[in-house]
Amino acid sequence: MPGAPVSTEVSITSLGYRKYWYNGSSTDRSVHSPELWTEMSPSMDCDIVAALKMDQALITFQNQLAEEVQVYYTSDYCYKCVHQLLTSVKSDNSSSSAIISTKFTLTIQVETKTRNNSLCKWSQTYGEGGHYLINISGVLSEPSCSQIVQKSPHNVYLPLLVSTLVLVFLSVLFAAAPYIYRRRNTSKFIRAICCRSPQYSMDNNEPPAESDKPKPTRLQSLDTFRGFALTIMVFVNYGGGGYWFFQHAPWNGLTVADLVMPWFVFIIGTSVVLAFSSMQRRGLGTGQLVRKVTWRTVVLLLLGFCFLNYSPRDGPLSWSWLRVPGVLQRLGFTYLVLSLLQIFWGQISIPHRTPFQDLTLYWPQWLIIVLLETLWLCLTFLLPVPDCPTGYLGAGGIGDSGLYPNCTGGAAGLIDRWMFGDNMFRYPTCREMYQTTQPFDPEGVLGTINSVLMGFLGMQAGKIIIFYRGSNVSILGRFGVWALLLGISAAILTKCTRDVGFIPVNKNLWSLSFVTCLGCFSFVLLGAMYLVIDVRGWWRGRPFIYPGTNSILVYVGHSLLGFYFPFSWDMRVWDSHWELLFMNIWATALWVLISYLLYRKRFFLKI
C-alpha cells in the first residue's frame, strides 16, 4: 500500500460495547445491513482495496500468534450495543482486511477463537481514506497490538472549511455591495452639484429616502427564521455533504438535521397567533376561520399523502405501501390543533396590562396542552408493550445488550404499528446502527402530541409579541426567561447526558426533553433575530427572508425535483466530501435564488 508507514502504538482502554457499520455513500438511499461490511484478504486486487468511499477506512489485521483470533467492534454512538464480529484472522502470520466506518469512535477488541478471552482492546476514531495495519504479536499469555498508519487519511473537514470561508466571503461581499454602490452614487451627485452643475437647486420633489419609508408591519424576523430553518432543511435533505452531523442522529442525541423541523413547528405556532389575531380584529367570523383552517389542513395532508410519501409496492396505482404519517401530515395536524386553540380560546382585546397576562388569559389553552402532555406521559411510560419493559425508550435491536430486539420506540412504535401496519416509515435512522427489524415512523402518533406542544411554545412567543408590542425590552426579556426555563427543564430531564437521563433527547420519539431543548433554542434564535432585524435594523434578513416567504413552494419543490439536474447529477468522486458538498450547496443556493426571483416578482404560493 502507498505512503510512508508511520508507527503508532494503540492505546488499550476499557470501553463499553457499541456498534456501527457503514456501506456506500452517505447519500445512498438503500438500507445497509451488517452483512455489507467488506472483508478482504491481502491477495485481493489493489484497486479494490484502494477504492474507499467517503467516511471509510481500510484496516488490516496481521496475526503472528499461534492461534486464530477474532476481531469485534462497537461504536461510541450505539448505547450498550452487543459487539459484532468484524473479521477472523488465521494463525501464523496470516492477515485479513475490512472496511470500517470513520464517522464515530470505534472500540475494537481482539479475542482468541477457542478460549474466547480478550487479548487487546482499544478505542479510536479512524480517518477517512486511511489505511491501517494492526500487528498482533507476542504470546497468548502476553499479547501486544501495535498500529501502523500505511496511508495517511484525508482531512475530512477541509471541504467544509473551504466552503464556509467562500460563503462568508460572498455574504460580506453582497452585504457591502449596496453601501458601496450608494456611496459611489452619492459622491457623483455631490461632484455634480459642487463642480459641474451649479444651476441645480435642492427641492422637495425627490422621493423620500429609504430611511423615511414606513416600517413594514410584517414581522421580518419571523420570515427570516422560517427561511433560515428551510435553507438548512433543504441542505440536509440533499445530503449535507455526507457529514454525519448534517444527518439525523441514529437514536438519542442531537444533530443539525434534528433542529429544523421543530423550528418550523415553533414558527407555525407564532404565525398562528399573529395571523389569526389580525384576522379576528378585521372582523372575520369563527366559521370563516374554521373553513380556512380546514382547507389548509386538507391541502397539506394531500400534499404529504400523494406527492412526498407515495411509495407503491404493487405498481403505479397501488396504495399498499402508502405512508400515512409524514412531515406535511404532522405539520398539517399541528396547524389544525393550534389554529382551533387560537380561534376558540384566543383573546383579541386586552382589557388592561397585568403581569403574566399572556399566560392567565389563555388558561383554557394551557389546560388542553397539559391534558395532552399528560396523555403522552401516561401512554409512553404506563402502556404495556408485549415482551418489552414498560416505559422503554430505546431503539431495540442490538442495543441495551440485545435484550429487547423488537421493542423499537416502546409504546410509540407499538401504537403506530397497530394503527398503520405497513403504511409507515420502514427504514428508521436506528436501523443501520442498531440492526432493528421493526418499522418505526419518526412522524408517528405519540410524537405528534409533543409536536403540538412545540407549536404551543411558538404560540406563546406570538402572544408575547402582541401583548408587549412597543416594549422591546419586555419582549426580549420574556423570550430570555422562557429560554432559560426550557433549557433548565431539558438539562434536568436528560441529566446533561445523551443516553442515561430520565427522558433522553430523541427526535425519532419527539421526547419531552427534545421539545424543551429545541424550544429553548427557538426562543433564543427568534429573540436574536428580532433584536437584529426588527429592533435595530442591522440586518434585513437576506437571503433567508426570500425562502421564508415562499416556504411551501420551496419545500415541495426541493422534495419533488431534488434528484433531477441541475439540483443533482451523477457524481464522479466518491472517496471524499468535496463533490457531494459542492452539489448540495449548489442545489440549496438554487432554491434560494428561485425564491429570490419569485420574491422580486411578488409571487408567493399560499394555501
Task: Considering the candidates 131, 248, 558, 577, report the single residue annotated as catalytic.
Answer: 248
Whether residue 560 contacts residue 304, with contact meaning beta carbons closer than 8 Å, is answered with no
What is the total residue count of the chain?
607
C-alpha cell at 520: 429553548
Helix (H) or strand (E) holding 122: strand 118-124
| Strand ranges of the sheet holding 39-40, from the earlier edge strand across to the other edge | 6-9, 142-151, 131-139, 56-63, 94-101, 39-40
**CB within 8 A of 221, min separation 6: which ones?**
526, 529, 530, 532, 533, 534, 541
Using the 8-state DSSP alphabet, how is residue 102 labeled?
-
Q: Which of 87, 100, 91, 84 is nearest to 132 (CA)?
A: 100
Q: How far is CA 341 from CA 280, 366, 401, 553, in A?
A: 13, 10, 44, 27
- Give the strands of the sheet with 106-112, arranged side by side: 84-89, 69-75, 106-112, 118-124
Q: How far apart are CA 224 and CA 227, in angstroms?
A: 5
Rounded Cα distance, 451 and 443, in Å: 9
CB distance 248 to 429 below 8 Å:
yes
Residue 31 three-state SS: coil
Is 248 one of the catalytic residues? Answer: yes
Alpha-carbon distance of 141 to 147, in angstroms, equals 20
Burial of 200 (0-12, 13-18, 19+ CB in 10 A): exposed
Cell of 367: 389546560
Q: 218 vs 278, 339, 526, 528, 599, CA distance in Å? A: 11, 19, 15, 17, 15
Stated as kind and residue range, the H or E segment containing 72 is strand 69-75
Q: Which residues contact 16 (CB under 8 A, 6 or more apart)?
A: 74, 80, 107
Secondary structure of 386-439 in the HEC alphabet?
CCCCCCCCCCCCCCHHHCCCCCCCCHHHHHHHHHHCCCCCCCCCHHHHHCCCCC
Q: Indicate if the alpha-carbon torsion angle 185, 191, 194, 195 is positive or negative.
A: negative
Task: Give the whole-angstrom CA distance, residue 522 versus residue 262.
Answer: 8
Residue pair 580/238 in contact by the 8 Å Cβ criterion: no
- DSSP-assigned letter for residue 59: E
Q: How far apart are CA 197 and CA 199, in angstroms?
A: 5
Active-site annotation, residues = 248
